[in-house]
Amino acid sequence: MRGVLPATLAAQQAGFTQVMVPLRQAGEARLVAGIDVIGLASITQLVAFLRGEPMPLVDPIEVMGDPAGKHAKRRLDLADVVGQAEAKWACEVAAAGRHHMLFHGPPGVGKTMLAERVPGLLPDLDLHDSLEVSAVHSLAGFNLADELITRPPYSDPHHSASVASIVGGGQRIARPGAISCAHKGVLFLDDSTEAQSIRLSASSYRPAAIGQPVSTFYDLTIGSFRRRRS
């Protein structure tokens, strides 16, 4: 079930003191302080609880879920990069001031390698930001493994990705896209010149605005494009 954490947060902010969630995600709901979480394994247990009867035992069912979000666990170090002194200095300046960046160069020079390590230069998220980021990733369907995301996330949609996968969308419950998953972290748009203009417009990404805030949703945007050899 997606969105257990933000749903529990909303219930707590609305003044509720108790919530019932699927047993497998009770740990995720308990990340919200000040609310009693009841984990239920079946509808029969829910009915029994509401009637005030003893809850029947239910055989556990193993469900294959999404692995923990890759954006939440990665911790790559800029110190692993050999050479590239000027590029690493630019990454440090951008991370310190939350500036946007544009990488320019032929394939294989290390643009992606550097971008992947920029989140490691950012400080840990505070509790408020950690809850926000974890809520977004919960809605996106990532397994939080009963832990809050404490590091700035990193999102790198492919240049051929659809508009919906970049900006989000869906029926019934909207699923966050790659931009949302970069909330309070780094959004890397690799080979951005290869993407259709509608995708770039939808993501509010303006290459001409490098160094200027283009969105308050993510902290730092990195774009890149290939320099083709003649």
Q: Are residues 93 and 142 in the same domain?
A: yes
Residue 61 lies in a domain: no
Check residue 57 and report its DSSP letter. Answer: P
Q: Are residues 93 and 25 in the same domain?
A: no
Ordered DSSP codes for 7-55: HHHHHHHTT--EEEEEGGGHHHHTTSTTSEEEEESSHHHHHHHHHTPPP
Overall domain count for the chain: 2
> Which CATH number belongs to the domain containing residue 194 in this structure?
3.40.50.300
Residue 59 lies in a domain: no
Residue 84 lies in a domain: yes
Q: What is the pLDDT of residue 80?
A: 86
pLDDT tens track for 43-95: 888 888 888 888 888 776 665 555 554 544 557 888 888 888 888 998 899 88
Q: Which of helix, strand or coil describes residue 226?
A: strand
Q: Are residues 40 and 76 in the same domain?
A: no
Q: What is the pLDDT of residue 212?
A: 32
Contact 181, 71 (CB under 8 A): yes
User: What range defines the domain where residue 10 resides?
Assistant: 4-51
Q: Of 63-67, 100-104, 142-146, which range is least confident? A: 63-67
Q: Are residues 133 and 201 in the same domain?
A: yes
Q: Are residues 99 and 180 in the same domain?
A: yes
Ordered DSSP codes for 105-170: E-TTSSHHHHHHHGGGGSPPP-HHHHHHHHHHHHHTT-B-TTS---S--EE---TT--HHHHH-B-
Residue 58 lies in a domain: no
Q: How far is the first Cα of the chain from the last one, in angstroms, to the nearest whole number?
A: 51
pLDDT tens track for 156-192: 887 777 777 777 777 776 788 888 888 888 888 877 6
Q: Are residues 34 and 78 in the same domain?
A: no
What is the pTM assigned to this prediction?
0.70
Residue 189 lies in a domain: yes
Q: Are residues 177 and 216 in the same domain?
A: yes
Residue 60 lies in a domain: no
Q: Are residues 77 and 190 in the same domain?
A: yes
Q: Are residues 144 and 196 in the same domain?
A: yes
Residue 172 lies in a domain: yes
Q: What is the pLDDT of residue 168?
A: 79
Q: Are residues 150 and 44 in the same domain?
A: no
Contact 21, 40 (CB under 8 A): yes
Q: Are residues 79 and 45 in the same domain?
A: no
Q: Are residues 47 and 77 in the same domain?
A: no
